[in-house]
Amino acid sequence: MKNSTIKINTIDDYIAGFPLKIQEQLQTLRLIIAEAAPNAEEGISYDIPIFKLHGKLAHFAAYKNHIGFYPGASAIEAFKTALHGYDTAKGTIHFPINKPIPAELVKSIIQFKVKENVVKTALKKK
């Protein structure tokens, strides 16, 4: 799916390497994250998109059958009931390619991560 010969420098570069249907889902996920954390920085880490605000909020990536969303283990644990019906692992959620991105769930997870990162940053300063 992704053209591995092209250097990925931006989220736009990453998204452009996929078929239109996948691009639309990736852009949707990107917009949901940006709305939930308007001060977050976009970037590329490990050759996939990342959003950061006082630390990592989440990575995301496209695969053959799903969009991988990587908010970390604490978010998976905090939202385990809401994530029922999605494949999850320690810090990963798989959103099926053939279904819409769950906007409210993603927004809630990102808002959780922002609060978590703010607290962690404040504790480090003490």
Pick the CATH number of 11-120 from 3.90.1150.10, 3.30.70.790, 3.40.190.10, 3.90.1150.200: 3.90.1150.200
33-54 average pLDDT score: 96
55-63 average pLDDT score: 97
Angle of CA points 33, 78, 60, to nearest 5°: 35
Taking only the tens place, the pLDDT of each residue in 18-37 is 999 999 999 999 999 999 99
Please give, one letter per residue, the 3-state secondary structure of 65-99. Answer: CEEEEECCHHHHHHCCCCCCCCEECCCCEEEECCC
39-59 average pLDDT score: 96
